[in-house]
């Protein structure tokens, strides 16, 4: 027996982990700094960790009250009805729910290229197909409504990432409003704000109740430091918010994740420290790296280093794991996540040495 034809599906390529690299290179994990997956260098919110410890012996129950509590808390946070908050296992889970709710077999989605690969993956899982709009290096990956609309051909879902992974660029508010007005009535614009906390600008969430074709996705994986728990959400228009009950995987957002996420929302100190460090580190990377870099509103910086694969290999051997952007279609670029001040300073030293060595080799 065989599965269905999966030849159009490519596996997700994650940033490399510390244990994996340490094992491959025979290194001590303690000597490695991981700046390849845009994780939180300060770790999880301490308030979330407290709750995890407190509720560890309560995981024999299905997550019902904890899910409702988180939903209510998020509804208050964003000033929407509880029904409009679709809690999921990571923001990836929300992308799946939106695919389930929106896509009929054969429907097409429009995604940024380069961009986050899961948009296309979830469309294909749901028997849809994928077209792309370009963000061009020559144009500093600038995002505009025109850039999307030029490629738009009536797709059912249009994805926008702001701040954009892996480039750090943003879609300005007026461009988003313009885009929302220019797509067909049947097109949902999904604004992915996985890195929204690090940006200076306001969330698109404020627009969700003003139009009926906008959904916003957010996650606890980055600024709240809960990537390992898998918890995120979408904010959707009230007109069709009740579709959640028909498309969500029962209890996919787990008990501890729901409780920890709720606690993390009340941990202002951790969030402030996280955002402050990321803003310092992205400035430091831009000022100190001997490579062309792009302005970033996220917790990472894209740098043009020549041979990204050779540079990331050499950097890894020198103890700093960064993301080779070849899988994003940018074989000359690496993406460096913002670490603590110490980690970021070390990364700059290592990368500057390695880039020179690789260029001269
Ligand atoms: N969107 C973007 C742009 C991302 O970079 C990521 C994580 N790499 C996600 C969504 C998904 O995040 P998660 O599923 O961990 O919430």
* pLDDT tens per residue across span 111-149: 999 999 999 999 999 999 999 999 999 999 999 999 999
Any ligand 1 atom below 6 A from CB of 232: yes
- In CATH, 46-264 is 3.40.640.10: yes
Task: Report the distance separating Cα 200 and Cα 13, nearest Å.
Answer: 29
**Whole-number pLDDT of residue 14:** 80
Q: Helix count (H) and strand count (E) of the chain?
A: 12, 12
**Whole-number pLDDT of residue 101:** 98
pLDDT tens, 191-224? 999 999 999 999 999 999 999 999 999 999 999 9
Any ligand 1 atom below 6 A from CB of 166: no
**Whole-structure pTM over 0.85, yes or no?**
yes
Any ligand 1 atom below 6 A from CB of 94: no
**Whole-number pLDDT of residue 13:** 79
Provide the CATH number for the domain formed by 18-44+268-360 in this structure. Answer: 3.90.1150.10
Any ligand 1 atom below 6 A from CB of 112: no
Ligand 1 pocket mutation, candidates 94, 97, 221, criterion most atoms within 8 A of CB: 221
Q: Give, using CA atoms, the residue closest to atom 6 of ligand 1.
A: 194
Q: Which atom of ligand 1 is nearest to the CA of 192?
A: 1
CA dihedral sign of residues 80, 81, 82, 88: negative
CA of 1 to the centre of ligand 1 (A): 33
**Whole-number pLDDT of residue 268:** 98
Any ligand 1 atom below 6 A from CB of 234: no
**Whole-number pLDDT of residue 16:** 78
Comparing 245 with 17, the larger pLDDT belongs to 245
Q: What is the overall mean pLDDT for the chain?
A: 96
**Averaged pLDDT, 16-30:** 89
Any ligand 1 atom below 6 A from CB of 87: no
Distances (CA, A) of 100 to 61, 131, 343, 360: 27, 18, 40, 51
**Whole-number pLDDT of residue 169:** 98
Is the pLDDT score of 15 beyond 90?
A: no
**Whole-number pLDDT of residue 12:** 85
Q: Which atom of ligand 1 is nearest to the CA of 93?
A: 14
pLDDT tens, 323-345? 999 999 999 999 999 999 999 99
**Whole-number pLDDT of residue 125:** 96
Please, which residues bridge with residue 109 across strands? 130, 157
Residue boundaries of the structural domains of the chain = 18-44+268-360, 46-264
Is the pLDDT score of 359 beyond 90?
A: no
User: What dihedral do alpha carbons 154, 157, 158, 163 form, nearest 10°?
Assistant: 180
Q: Give, using CA atoms, the residue closest to atom 4 of ligand 1.
A: 194
């Amino acid at each position: 027996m065989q599965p269905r034809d999966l030849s159009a599906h490519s596996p997700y390529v994650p940033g490399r982990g510390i244990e994996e690299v340490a094992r491959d290179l025979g290194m001590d994990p303690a000597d490695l700094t991981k700046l390849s997956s845009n994780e939180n260098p300060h770790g999880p919110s301490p308030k979330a960790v407290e709750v995890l410890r407190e509720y560890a012996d309560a995981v024999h129950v299905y997550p019902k009250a904890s899910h409702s509590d988180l939903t209510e808390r998020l509804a208050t946070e964003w000033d929407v009805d509880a029904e409009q908050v679709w809690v999921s296992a990571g923001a990836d889970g929300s992308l799946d729910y939106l695919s389930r709710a929106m896509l009929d077999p054969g429907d097409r989605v429009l995604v940024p290229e380069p961009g986050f690969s899961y948009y296309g993956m979830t469309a294909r899982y749901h028997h849809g197909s994928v077209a792309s709009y370009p963000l061009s290096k020559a144009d500093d990956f600038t995002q505009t409504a025109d850039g999307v609309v030029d490629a738009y051909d009536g797709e059912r879902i249009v994805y926008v990432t702001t701040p954009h992974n892996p480039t750090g660029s943003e879609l300005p508010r007026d461009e988003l409003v313009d885009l929302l007005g220019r797509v067909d009535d049947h097109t949902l614009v999904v604004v992915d704000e996985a890195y929204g906390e690090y940006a200076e600008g306001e969330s698109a969430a404020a627009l969700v109740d003003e139009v009926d074709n906008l959904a916003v996705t957010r996650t606890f994986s980055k600024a709240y430091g809960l990537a390992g728990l898998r918890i995120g959400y979408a904010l959707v228009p009230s007109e069709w918010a009740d579709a959640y009950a028909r498309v969500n995987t029962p209890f996919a957002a787990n008990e501890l994740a729901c409780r920890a996420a709720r606690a993390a929302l009340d941990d202002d100190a951790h969030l402030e420290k996280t955002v402050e460090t990321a803003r310092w580190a992205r400035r430091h990377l831009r000022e100190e790296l001997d490579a062309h870099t792009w302005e970033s509103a996220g917790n990472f910086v894209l740098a043009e280093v020549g041979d990204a694969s050779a540079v990331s290999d050499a950097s890894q051997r020198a103890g700093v794991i960064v993301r080779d952007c070849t899988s994003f279609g940018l074989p000359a670029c690496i993406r460096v996540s913002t670490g603590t001040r110490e980690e970021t300073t070390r990364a700059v030293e290592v990368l500057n040495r390695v880039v020179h060595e690789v260029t001269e080799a």
